[in-house]
Amino acid sequence: MIALDRIDRIILDLLQADGRMTHAALAEQVHLSPSACLRRVKRLERAGVIEGYRAALALERVGLGTTVFVEISLTSQQEGHLDEFEAAVMDVPEVISCHLMAGDADYLIQVVVADVTDYERVHRTRMARLPHVAKLKSSFALRGVVTRPGLALASEALREVRDVDSGE
């Protein structure tokens, strides 16, 4: 973990909101010179805090308006089975997130598809054929309530929690 000061947190918040923001505009927002601001951004990139820059897509506008959450239980939790499953699920392009879970299911997967018929295709041709799957339980999202583009690192409440945790 890298130590982040208030300016780093503000830089990260601003870049999460607009990854295409110029360094000059970013520097102006955080009241630094462009070169000092660029040095901070490069340090955050080298440290792996900033993993990359992406375009946020409106899924409905590209024909992927249905989100399905799939709980998957495997036949066993042997390390080799977990590895095989994880390697295979990475090859399913409709999967946008996959998490190893503690609880009833072994994995929670988020899938985006055009509609219910499209999900049936994905279920039959991809999900049910993943290695070591014992059970699939699919839940269709009716609508998104909160989808944040990033973390509010500079918010006062989060900062206070982190400062207490770090002993500041």
Nearest to 107 by CA among 134, 67, 142: 134
Instruction: Judge whether residue 129 has pLDDT over 90.
Output: yes
**Dist. CA 99–CA 117, nearest whole Å:** 25
pLDDT for position 159: 46
pLDDT for position 136: 97
Domains by residue range for the chain, with CATH: 6-55 (1.10.10.10), 59-140 (3.30.70.920)
Query: Could you tell me if 116 and 140 are in contact, meaning their C-beta atoms sit under 8 angstroms apart?
Result: yes
Tell me what the pLDDT averaged over the chain comes to.
91
Pairing of strands 95-100, 133-140: unpaired
pLDDT for position 115: 97
pLDDT tens track for 11-20: 999 999 899 9
Pairing of strands 133-140, 107-113: unpaired
